[in-house]
Amino acid sequence: MTIQIEGFAQTLARCLDFEGVPPDALEAVLIETGLPLQLQVAEPSSETPLIASGSAFTQLYFVQHGTLAPWQFPHSELAAPFLVGIHELLMDAERWVGSYSAVDEAVVVGIPIGVMTRVVERIPSVRERMHELLMRRLSRFYWVSLATNGSPSARVAAALVSRLALDDLDFGRDRTIAMRQKDIGRLTTMSRSAVAAGLAELAEAEAITWGDAASGRFKGEVSVPDVESLKERAFRDVRKREIGPLIAGRGRD
């Protein structure tokens, strides 16, 4: 179903990619292109994705209502308002990299590449913001890759840094992370007891604290005195088990 541009920009401007952009300026560019925007209701399906990896990339999808999930481990939930296709747009991709399904009944708006290309040309701050968000997400995925292997403490440390990376705060001192224990378990693919053991070891090493005492009950908020120290904990296993032997092996050639 084709939607009216007038008024839609108010909704689209709520997306992080358009932070700071006046809705009327965004609406003017959308109208200027003259290309229609298509609204559709996406039904949840684990068999037939809304977006299929390898299919032609002809439009971006704005999640106006509901949630999409990319087919990946660990899983992510892209809740409205969210714009899917930024990576493909900035890389001039011809095909979708991943597959996505609706988690529940979702309302999405298809925005042709030509429309979004005109938006980033007319409003340069949009491209800059998209690039910033994309780099944050890529940084998060890097740290998540470290969170799925190694000792409990190293995996928990990487999961915590991944959350900081998403907000571009994975550096410096005195950071606070709001993250539930079950979310750490999802990112690390570990049991609740293993997550608790990892948290306890990091607290004992003074890499993190929570509550009034390190031995107190974990309530979902972690303080990080020094992010570099937490990163060192995350790197501990991969440095010893992978990078060290690899470098030593190269040195013998």
Digit-coded pLDDT (tens) for 95-149: 999 999 999 999 999 999 999 999 999 999 999 999 999 999 999 999 999 999 9
- Please report which confidence band the pLDDT of residue 211 belongs to, taking 50, 70 and 90 as the band edges: confident
Residue 26, Cβ neighbours under 10 Å: how many? 21
pLDDT at 1: 79
pLDDT in tens, 186-197: 999 999 999 999
- Please report which confidence band the pLDDT of residue 213 belongs to, taking 50, 70 and 90 as the band edges: low
| Residue 213 Rama label (left phi>0; alpha psi -120 to 50; beta) | beta
Beta bridge partners of 41: 107
Which amino acid type is present at position 6?
A: E
pLDDT at 253: 53
CB 148 within 8 A of CB 155: yes
pLDDT in tens, 150-181: 999 999 999 999 999 999 999 999 999 999 99
Write down the pTM of the prediction: 0.86
Length reported for the chain: 253
Which positions ≥6 away from 123 have C-beta within 8 Å? 21, 25, 26, 29
Where is average pLDDT lowest: 60-69, 114-123, 195-204, 212-221? Answer: 212-221
% of the chain exceeding 90 in pLDDT: 84
Report whether the peptide linkage leading into residue 81 is cis, meaning its omega lies within 30 degrees of zero: yes
Report which of 208, 225, 222, 209 is spatially closest to residue 173, judged by C-alpha positions: 225
Q: Is the pLDDT of residue 24 over 90?
A: yes
CA atoms within 13 A on the CB side of 50: 28
Q: Where are the beta strands (DSSP E) in 6-149?
A: 38-42, 59-65, 67-70, 78-79, 82-84, 100-102, 106-112
Tokens of 163: 């959350």
- Please report which confidence band the pLDDT of residue 251 belongs to, taking 50, 70 and 90 as the band edges: low
pLDDT, the chain, mean: 93
Rounded to whole angstroms, the Cα distance separating 215 from 232 reads 22
pLDDT at 157: 97
